[in-house]
Structure formats: structure tokens, C-alpha cells
Structure 1
């Protein structure tokens, strides 16, 4: 049980590292978690035979498009991954139609395009945050392996700092993803109600990102407790000053301050 506690922060960092990479690379290819999207936008059903797909799933570094088959999503293609990334519906939809018509004729409100532009900077910040979070979690794992080989302490302050930094980065990224998933989806639904444009958030992505954040939080708390316990133990076991040394020094000082011994006095008297 003690060994498990010692390596618990490393285990949490490893799992959080994997989950962070999954959040980062989801949707970059058709075979990489296409269902773990932040949100999916469904354009108006009024624009048929225009080249526009039935849905567009948005991820951290890309988007995927596809059609609905009996209510199920059939992914057709994913964009090239880029960092930072923000989905621009106006350019994507116009490119799909060959720039032969305007978005208003397709039943796409300009207010939704403005919503995407407003959240563009926020969306672009998620990719770097996930990269930093995954990177510091990986460094914490490497550091633990190094200290294990060197037979170092159970936990070091450097590991604690890395775990806390990873928790902060993933926490901020998770908050941004949650805001986009809920508030932004709400805006799309409100502004697209009259034209049939709809959106929904991805629960799988939110589950992965908050799981990674919670794991790093648990690892950070455990690491902090272990560092404090090891510090207190080292203070208690530190060698105290030997009281015998003080007694000896006091005796030496007394002898040096006293007068000459009886033997020396007798010797002087003979002379």
C-alpha cells in the first residue's frame, strides 16, 4: 500500500498525459476519436444539394464533416490539423458550395458567424494549453523515473510544481471547453432557431478533459502531502547538538580561567 501511495502522483500524471493527448488529437483523423468533439453544428435542412454536409464536428485542432444516416453520424472527412485552430464556418460553408451563393441564401445566419468569430481567440488558446499540460505531465513522469533510479526522495518539490502547473493548464483548458460547449451551443441554438441551424456539445470530450484535470489535482494534493511529511520527518531525525560537547567545552574554559595547578605551585616554590 505504501508503494502505491508513493507512485500515485506518477500514475495520475501518466493517465492525465494520455487523456490530454486524446483531447488534443481527437478528430485530426477519421480513426482518432471522431466522436469526441467539443461541439457539433448542424446547418439548416433547407439547403439541400448545395454541397454542405449535414454536420460539422469541431475539435481542438481540426474539424470533421459528414452526413446523417438514419439519425447516426457518418464521418466523411477531417480537416488538416493546425495549432492554434478555430473553426470558421463562413469560409468552410462557402468553400463547400464552390462560392456560388451567399450564406444567407443557405439559411445560415450572420449572427452565428459573428459568434464563431467572437469565440475564435478563446478557441485558439485551447491547443497550446493542452500541449503545455501534457508536456509538464510527461516531465513529471520522467522526473519520477529519474529519482527512482537515483534512489531519491519519494516526492520532490520539482515534481509538485510540475503537477500543479499541469493541473492549472488543463483546468483552464477544461473551463474554456466547457464554456464553449454550453454557452456557445446555447447561442447557436438561439440565433439559428428561425433558420433551422442547431448545435450540441460533446459529452465524451468534456469527460476526458475533466478527468485529466481531476487526476492531476489528486496527484498534486498527494504529492504536496508527501513532501510536507518527508520534510517534517527530516526535521525530527536531524542530529541534535551533543550536550556532552557543551560540558566538555565548559570544563576546558574553567580550566583555562583557573590559576596554576598545585603541582606547578610546588615546583615554583622549590625554585
Structure 2
């Protein structure tokens, strides 16, 4: 058995699994939700709506009254200052209720092939929160993450029946996500190539275990792992750059209305670890190929230099005869 082939085979298996997890993280509620590409925190969107309406009218509107409990309403006086102070206290105490009454979720996450949404547990402002997933979209290749359409639909079905203009939703948020979505389409193809090449290399590595010192098998495995490595490397570079730009753009235009974007650091760790392991696998097959070639050359040299005494003597006599002619 060719034991040196065991290490690159294990490396290909690990890289294969990690790459698959990059694709399917978040594919169902609760499955690796924290490994999203981008997460949007919308738990404070209601604050901007209330603040804007209070600033324009000293008397809370019927829409505002629907999200303010009866005890708080009794405390509100006629001046703008007092109304703002009471409302701010209510917002700080019950941000969860605000998002619920608006109809939107507290967070939205973007994965490679779907989108999930949900609430924070115990609440959005707690020092340590957990993600409570309420639903995920259908898993689809080349998925388009249209957060504007999703939030618009939820606002209209909420208790206040608002639309995007009521919360001053910037179109630049969707523009940033559109660019990211376009990049994800290319990323899916790259991950598919990387996964397929790694999968085939696992099979050929298993064959190499029983073919000691085969240069052709080593070269074939090296080629497959190189293909997988460069596909995963390109995908990881693209997602790192595009993810950062999208988060900066969303925060630039969304923070003013209470939308905050966070890049998926755990997703980045996952994809870059897969790249690193595949690089080690490429290096292992490179060493194996060089050793196999060295062994083959030595065997060839020994074969050429070997032979019976009579064959060597005959060659020597023939050479001597030609020298006298």
C-alpha cells in the first residue's frame, strides 16, 4: 500500500466537506445559520419611524398608538419633548414589539442558496443573543437576494400596513445586494468546480493507495487538486472583496433608518480553511510525484546498467572490434 497517498486523500476529503458546507449552510432552519454570507439587523427600524412621526406631529397618530401600550399613552403629554422622551423609553424597553407590529423580522441572513429570517432571543439589545430562525426560502441555485421585496411584503401585511417609502428605505441597499447576488452566481459555479475536482481526487487518491510510485496517478491527482485549489481560491477572494463592499454600502445608506449589515466572518473562515487544506494537498501530491519520478529514473538506470556477464563481455568485444576496423 502506498501510504504517502493517504495524507492528500484525507486533505481532499476535508476540503470537500468544508466546501459543501459553504454551499449548504443555512439551507434549512437552524442549520449553520451563523455561517451566513451577510446578515442584516433590522430590529431598530421602528425607532426611526416613530422618531420621524413624533418630530412632525405633537400628537401621536393612530398608527403610533397601535404600537404604544395603554399605560405609556397615559403618560404622554402634549409637548414634543415629553412625547419624544416617553417614546424613546418605550423603544428601549420593547424593541421586539416594534419590529413585530411593523411586520418585519429582526434579522435577515443571506446564504449561498437561500435567505433566512427570524428574531433575536431573548431580545435584540441583550448582551448575548441567539438567532431564532422563523423561516427560510427554498434552496435555489443562482439565488437572487431581494430584501427590498421581502420587507415591502412584510410591511404591507403588518399591523400598520406601511410600505418602503414610510420607512425611507434606500434603493442603494438593494443595489449593494444585487452586486453581491451577481457575485454569488459566479461563486456557485466556482464552488461546484472545486467540489467536483476534490471529489474525483478522493477517488483517484484511493486508487493511488494501491499503485506504489505511479507517476501518472500522482500527476493526475496533482492536476485535480490544483483545479480544486484555484477554483476555491478564486471563490474565496471574490466573496471576501464583494462581501466587504456590500456591507460598507448597506451601512452607509441603511444605518440612518436602523438597518445594520454584518459580514459573515464564520463563512469566511470556513472557505479559507478549505483553501488552505487544498493547498497542502497540492503540495503533498507535488512531493509524491517528484519522489515517484525519482524512483522511476533510478529503476531505469539500474535496468540499463544490469545484464549478464556474457552480454557485457559481448558488447565489449564488439566495441573493441569496431575500434580496430
Show the counterpart of 2:297. 235
Q: How many pairs were matched up? A: 254
Show the counterpart of 2:14. 15
Task: Give the TM-score, by structure 2 length.
Answer: 0.71
- SS of the equivalent of 1:183 reads helix
Show the counterpart of 1:157. 219
In 2, Cα distance between equivalents of 1:90 and 1:45? 14
1:144 to 205, 208, 233: 205
Task: Give the TM-score, by structure 1 length.
Answer: 0.84
Stretches of structure 2 that go unaligned for 5 or more consecutive residues are 50-98, 307-311
- SS of the equivalent of 1:30 reads coil
Shift of 1:216: 0.2
In 2, Cα distance between equivalents of 1:170 and 1:185? 22
Show the counterpart of 1:269. none
Aligned pair in 2 of structure 1 residues 244, 163: CA closer, same or farther (>3 Å)? farther
Shift of 1:102: 3.6
Contact kept? 2:117, 2:136, Cα under 8 Å: yes
Matched, 1:207 2:265: no
Show the counterpart of 1:187. 249
Shift of 1:151: 5.1
Matched, 1:55 2:116: no
Instruction: Indicate the structure with greater helix content.
Output: 2
Show the counterpart of 2:151. 93
Matched, 1:67 2:119: yes
1:221-232 map, 5 Å: 221-232=283-294
1:124-143 map, 5 Å: 124-143=185-204
In 1, Cα distance between equivalents of 2:109 and 2:323? 89
- SS of the equivalent of 1:156 reads helix
In 2, Cα distance between equivalents of 1:178 and 1:62? 19
Show CA shifts across 1:187-214 (max 9, x none): 1111112222111112211111110000
Show CA shifts across 1:112-167 (max 9, x none): 11112233311211222212111111100011112334556385111001101111
Show the counterpart of 2:170. 109
Alignment RMSD, CA only?
Answer: 2.4
Contact kept? 1:108, 1:197, Cα under 8 Å: no
Stretches of structure 1 that go unaligned for 5 or more consecutive residues are 258-271
Contact kept? 2:229, 2:278, Cα under 8 Å: yes
